[in-house]
A and B are shown apart, each in its own frame.
Chain A
Amino acid sequence: RKEVEQDPGPFNVPEGATVAFNCTYSNSASQSFFWYRQDCRKEPKLLMSVYSSGNEDGRFTAQLNRASQYISLLIRDSKLSDSATYLCVVNISPGRRALTFGSGTRLQVQP
């Protein structure tokens, strides 16, 4: 089982749609969680951190479910510019410290 797993997609949605991605992680001791965004042939950039109580940033909402070991990202009112690959990132083991990336979920927002 992969340490961090994501549905690769692609998710093809129309502009204005709401779309949600999930990501599961294997180590229940994981402590830090993030969503990164990667545009085609570009480097990944932080989209948002994921806090235990859930957090929102504009059209984006991130949630953490420790019991089921998954995090989610909800995008409301999708824009064409949201088209990208969304990477789930976990600090899998506090003893290890390096960030572990999922393979990413590709989103294509269509006009």
Chain B
Amino acid sequence: GAGVSQSPSNKVTEKGKDVELRCDPISGHTALYWYRQRLGQGLEFLIYFQGNSAPDKSGLPSDRFSAERTGESVSTLTIQRTQQEDSAVYLCASSREAGNTEAFFGQGTRLTVV
């Protein structure tokens, strides 16, 4: 597709369950970012992938969070044993290069943990 695609768009899960969120970046974009945005708050950096380099995981809030990316394509963000404080919109973005070019965002996955 032309833009960054995320799925699902909405996810409601019970506390303690695992969830997997998917991001399809724009073709050819080597950089991919995951951010979290809680209601009424700013974007919180989670993890960043650049080509085949080791990912920057410095933003992951706990070891319940992990992410993978296959080459320069799809990425999945996994949250294990979800907690209510994980409820947020999870945004994925991609860019041609890292850090100094426009990042294009997907529409996000709205996660609600009940």
Contacts of B41 in A (CB 8 A): 103
Residues A44-60 near B (CB distance < 8 A) = 44-46, 49
Q: Decide yes or no whether A11 CB sits under 8 A from chain B.
A: no
Q: Which of A13-21, A75-83, A92-100 lies at the binding interface?
A: A92-100
| Distance A91 CA – B58 CA, assembled complex (angstroms) | 15
A-B contact count (CB 8 A): 52
Residues A30-87 near B (CB distance < 8 A) = 31-32, 34, 42-46, 49, 87
| Distance A98 CA – B98 CA, assembled complex (angstroms) | 7
Minimum CB distance partner of A96 in chain B: B56
Contacts of B45 in A (CB 8 A): 98-101
B42–A32 CB distance below 8 A? no
Q: What is the minimal beta-carbon distance from B54 to any residue of chain A, in angstroms?
A: 12
Q: Decide yes or no whether B65 CB sits under 8 A from chain A.
A: no
Which residue in B43, B50, B100, B108 is a CB contact (below 8 Å) of A91? B100
| Distance A99 CA – B50 CA, assembled complex (angstroms) | 12
A97–B42 CB distance below 8 A? no
Residues B85-114 near A (CB distance < 8 A) = 91, 98-100, 102-103, 105-108
Q: Decide yes or no whether B77 CB sits under 8 A from chain A.
A: no
Per DSSP, chain A at the interface is: loop
Minimum CB distance partner of A6 in chain B: B42
Contacts of A101 in B (CB 8 A): 35, 42-43, 45
A98–B42 CB distance below 8 A? no
| Distance A46 CA – B101 CA, assembled complex (angstroms) | 10
A46–B99 CB distance below 8 A? no
| Distance A97 CA – B59 CA, assembled complex (angstroms) | 13
Q: Decide yes or no whether B79 CB sits under 8 A from chain A.
A: no
A46–B103 CB distance below 8 A? yes
| Distance A91 CA – B48 CA, assembled complex (angstroms) | 13
Q: Pick the 6 closest A-B CB pairs, nearest first.
A: A103-B42, A43-B105, A91-B99, A98-B48, A97-B98, A101-B43
Contacts of B67 in A (CB 8 A): none
